[in-house]
Amino acid sequence: MSTGPLMPKATAVWLVDNTSLSFDQIAAFCNLHPLEVKGIADGEVAAGIKGLDPVSANQLTREEIERAEKDSNYRMKLAVSSVRLPEQKRKKGPRYTPLSRRHDRPNAILWLLRNHPELKDAQIMRLVGTTKTTIQQIRDRTHWNTAQLAPMDPVTLGLCSQIDLDFEVARSAKDRPAVAAEEGNQTLLPAEVTTAREEAPASPFGSLTAKKEPEEEEAIDVNTVFAKLKQLKRPRDEDGEE
């Protein structure tokens, strides 16, 4: 049984406009946030939504609203419907697909093969109402319309419901062996190791070169340098005197 109204925002719009209930009471009944109800009252939220009378929809009684208006701490309860709908049983075998939707089945099959490769052919057949031959042709790219196929979500196409798709995916995940058991004792490296900066490898001659440079700088003599410059200038002076 549902724990809230069928159209919560539309119901909240009607309660804001037609009752003196607090934002917290409306939010609790409609499963909304109090700030969202306040936005509805200010016209910032659900501006284009028409209010739905929960009393006419048999989701709330007039007595329940009056009791909540008198006591701000009271939380309204959803009215229990006297009509009992039978539970739908899952039918075995391929799903029936209307004629107007059958041309979309190859696109849905391609989407399932790409996004959920763990699904078995029998599961795809149940979801979109196709045959194993068609699934194999699309998988092998031997389908007559392969060049024109585009992957499309079967839920969006209306070929199956999101509940049925999630059910089949969950069943495949349950049958699939755990990856950790196959890989053995392999574990992820800790963050300290993966995020640590790599240091440059130390050169075996690093210590020698580091000490050699200062020694070479200290060995340079200023007088020796000027003496060499004078020797270079002497031949030019003698040529000038001759």
Cα separation, 106 vs 90, in Å, equals 23
Average pLDDT along the chain: 76
**Inside any domain, residue 51:** yes
Please state, in angstroms and rounded to a whole number, the distance separating the CA atoms of residues 168 and 171: 5
CA distance 157 to 130: 14
Residue 127 near residue 164, CB atoms below 8 Å: yes
**What pLDDT does residue 51 have?**
87
List Cβ neighbours of 201 (8 Å cut-off, separation of 6 or more).
Answer: none
The top-scoring range by mean pLDDT among 76-80, 179-183, 196-200 is 76-80
Q: Give pLDDT, residue 45.
A: 79
pLDDT of residue 24: 93
Do both 58 and 114 map to the same domain?
A: no
Same domain, 43 and 106: no
Structural domain harbouring 35: 8-70
Q: Which residue has the tokens 């950790």?
A: 180
User: Residue 183 carries which side chain, given as an amino acid letter?
Assistant: E
Per-residue model confidence as pLDDT tens digits over 70-104: 998 999 988 876 555 555 555 555 555 555 566 88
Q: How many Cα atoms are found within 13 Å in the side-chain-facing hemisphere of 70? A: 6
Residue 101, both tokens: 């939707």
Same domain, yes or no: 104 and 65: no
Residue 31 near residue 3 (C-beta atoms within 8 A): yes
What does the pLDDT read at residue 179?
44
Percent of the residues in the chain that have a pLDDT greater than 70, as a whole number: 63
Which of 70, 86, 114 is the last residue before a domain boundary? Answer: 70
Same domain, 103 and 168: yes
- Among residues 150, 175, 200, the one where a domain terminates is 175
Q: pLDDT digit string (tens) for 151-170?
A: 988 888 888 888 888 888 88
Judge whether 198 lies within some domain: no
Name the token pair of 69.
């208006």
Number of domains in the chain: 2
132, 150, 175 — which closes off a domain? 175
Q: What is the pLDDT of residues 110-162, one digit of tens each?
A: 999 998 898 999 999 998 888 899 999 999 999 998 899 999 888 888 888 88
In a domain, 123, yes or no: yes
Cα–Cα dist 242/210, whole Å: 51
Kindly state whether residue 147 falls inside one of the protein's structural domains. yes
Reply yes or no on whether the pLDDT at 177 is more than 70. no
- φ/ψ of residue 68, rounded to 5: -70, -35
Q: Specify the pTM.
A: 0.38
pLDDT at residue number 12: 92
**Token pair listed for 213:** 């440079």
| Residue 41 is assigned to a structural domain of this protein | yes
Higher pLDDT, 17 or 203: 17
Q: DSSP assignment of 77-128, as one string?
A: -PPPPSPPPPPPPPPPSPPP--GGGGGGHHHHHHHHHHH-TTS-HHHHHHHH
